[in-house]
Structures are given as C-alpha cells and as structure tokens.
Chain A
C-alpha cells in the first residue's frame, strides 16, 4: 500500500513539475519579443552560453571525428571501401553525433551554469531585489538566457560537425593514407542537404530549446538553499540528457519516415 502511495505521489509530483515548467515556458516566451529591441542582453548570453562553450565543443568534436575515421577505416578496409570513410564520418556527425553530443556537452557546460547562476540569484535574494525594483525577473533574467541558448546550440552543433569532419580528414588522409579527393568527393556525393543536414539542424534546434528550457526552469524553481541549487544543477544534467536521447529517437523516426 505504501509503495502504491509513493508511486502516486511521485507521478503527481512529476505532473505538477511538468505543469509548472510549461507555464514558466509560456510566461518566458511571452516576454521574449521586447528583447528584440534590447538585443544586447541576448548577445551577452550568446557570449557566455555559446562562445564560452565553443572551446570544449571544438576539442570534443575534433577527437570524435578522429575516432570515427579510425573505426570507419578499420571496418571499411574489409570491403575495400576505405575511401568512403569521408562519407561515414560526415553522415555520422551531421545526422547524429553532431546534435546529440553537442547537446550533452551543452547541458553539462552551459546548462549547469545557467541553473546554478539563476539558482544562486534566487538564494541570494537577487531575483527578489530585481522584482522589488519593479523589474520582471523573468523578462530581464530568464528570457535573454532562454533565447541565447536557443540561438547558440544549433550554431555549436554545426561547428561540431565541421570540426569533426576536419578531425576525420586529418586521420583518414593524413595518417591512414586515404586519397583526399576520394574523401571529399564521396562525402559530397553521399550527403544530401534535405535528408541529412536539415534533419541534424532540426535536431539541434529542438535540443537547444529543450536543454535551455530545463536549465532555466530548474534554476528558477529550485529550493533557494545551497543544497537546493546543487540538486537543481544535478537535475538539469539528468533531465537534459534523457530528454535529448529520447527526442533524438523520436525525431529520427519522424524524419526517416517522412523522407
């Protein structure tokens, strides 16, 4: 009986959280249009969320591209098709690894920073102070961050794919002796804009939106104590990662079906 009760309470809590976060998202989105007139606020967030995350994305993508090329050549050699490694690297990155790994790294670097920043502003009464200065904290603090994350993530995912391809090229052509012309021509011939690149871009837009939404909501909704902020930061990473992987499956299924 106790277990059933706990299960029910858990489900109710989850539904309440979902409702609160949806209302929060609605309220935040309603406050984004005025930001177009004060784009400087969004620019600051693009810098701290996007630009400062770029280095970790660049480094990770370079290694992912190199590993893909190594593994790809190792397998393709069996069929004498090692020249297709460029295509394999590009498709893997553009369709899957680019958006997914970027989103996971984005949640770990930028998402946690957003949650901790907003959570600490709440626990140190900065949000209350802003409210008492007759300024809406959702409009001034949350909305620019949501928009900044939303804009940054697809750009980072694209950068991930491009740098990953460069890493793959270095290993395939520079180390393993694959012909450079074959590397690029196979890639160009086999990669479609509509089916491959666009589906990756759609994924990165959706992931960027969801991860930033989770991060700002967890920060704003946290219990304003050190422990509360720590738990909220933890939840941001867990929820974002799970959401990204689940949505990846759904979007892949939808795009493959319709194309």
Chain B
C-alpha cells in the first residue's frame, strides 16, 4: 500500500449508487504521486464511476475523495474548475471536438484558459503533437483519424495545460495490437517525462500490467485485490485469478442469473 503522505488521490470508505442501485461500497484507493496506477475489473464493476467521482462529475453518498489535498465533493463550482485545470482526462472515445481540426483541438484548452500569443500556442501545440507522434497530422479533421490516432490527439490535448494528474478511461479498448502498444508506451513515457501521476481505468490485463506501478482490482462494487502487477498475478484470490488469467467462469459467472434451465425450457411464458 502506498504511503499516505505521498498520495495525490485518497479515496476512503466510498459509497455510491444511482438511485436505489448501489454501484460502489467501502472502496479505499490511495494513489501515490508520480505513479501509474490502474483500476481494473470486469465490465460494469464501477471503474468508470470511480473515475467520475475522482474528477468530481458525481458526488459520493458516503466517504471521502481527496485529490491533491482537496476534498472533491466539497469543492464549489469555481474550485472544481480550478482543480480540473490541473487534471487531464482522456475519455474512452477521445471525444475530440468534431468541428475543429487536430491542431485546434489541442489548442482549445490553451485558447480558453490562457492569453498566450498565437506564436506561443503554436509552439506548445506542436510540442505536444510531436510527443504523441502526430505533428504531421495537425491539419486533419477528427473524422479523418483512426481510433488510435484520435486517442493520441486527445492525449496531447489532455496534457496541453501541463496537469499533475491524467485520468485515462479505457485507453486500450477498441485498439489493434500496434495501437495498444503505442498507447501503453505513451502513457508510461508521458508520465515519467512530465512528472505526472496517471490513473488508468482498464480491463486489458497485458498492457495494463506492463506499465502499471500498482493495480486495484474492483469487483462487485468494492476493491477485491490490490498490489503490484506481480503480486496480483501471484494472488490466490478466486476473482483476482479469474480476471488476471481471463477465465470464462468463476466468481463472475458465465450465466446471467435465471431460473433453472429445465424449468425454463418446459415453461410457456417468455
């Protein structure tokens, strides 16, 4: 477990649900500065919800979420905006603004938040695009980009304000093996070169283990296991084993809950 005083993100006894439906309960996650930490788990286990709680998009029903010493649920609108300026978020689809080209997409946060000269904006944008290997694609529109390229542009945009923290929502999903490799390399290199802290929400075991310093495994709305990738791979915990080894059946059942098969087949009602 990382040291508390070094933690950039500290989530304690977190409880959250939509209406009556609980999503997360008793979640404790500590993320150390400078680390690449992954939140993994089966689909629908609440990973993205946890990211939404960390970024202040939703508020917990119980427990605390602290980012860089600030209690996120208690922040006012203006304070939350200030925190988000220091936080880059890479959404699953990249979410580039479709009416702007690659260059303008990366320049967008700079134009909105700073009064930098056009010349300086150009330099910063080209630096960030160079880092993700897409300086030559700056005139392309988002519709001309592949999924992997769109995400790299979104990564350049996420780090253009030099944040302290970058949150990645499913950065590998839908990418081909080359794209996954590029994404993994970029996340690690960006983290180390820019002195960031990176949080990955992912269910791609191989890529995530390759670049993560620490992993939290969520299941049934709570933390089922945590540790370094090696520790988790060696874990005897059934759910951890099922997930890390991609087993089709186990604590997460193959079948959705239903009445007995025979009874269902012999019955008439749908």
Contact = CB atoms under 8 A, between A and B. Distances in A.
Interface string B130-169: 0000000000000000000000001001000000000000
B112 A132 contact: no
Contacts of A140: 112
Contacts of B154: 129
Contacts of A128: 57, 91, 95
A179 interface: no
A124 B82 CA distance: 24
A133 B84 contact: yes
A124 B109 CA distance: 18
A22 to B, nearest CB: 20
Given A125-B91, A140-B112, A132 B84 contact: yes
Interface string B85-115: 1010101110111100000000011001100
A126 B98 CA distance: 8
Q: Which of B55, B57, B91, B154 has the most CB of A within 10 A?
A: B91
Q: How big is chain B's contact interface, by range? A: 20 to 34
B194 interface: no
B247 interface: no
Contacts of A7: none
A12 interface: no
- Secondary structure call for the A interface: helix
Contacts of A121: 97-98
Given A131-B57, A132-B84, A125 B112 contact: no
B79 to A, nearest CB: 11
Nearest to B167: A132
A134 interface: yes
A135 interface: yes
A133 B166 CA distance: 11
Contacts of A124: 93, 95, 98
Interface string A117-147: 0001100111011111111100010000000
B81 interface: yes
A128 B84 CA distance: 12
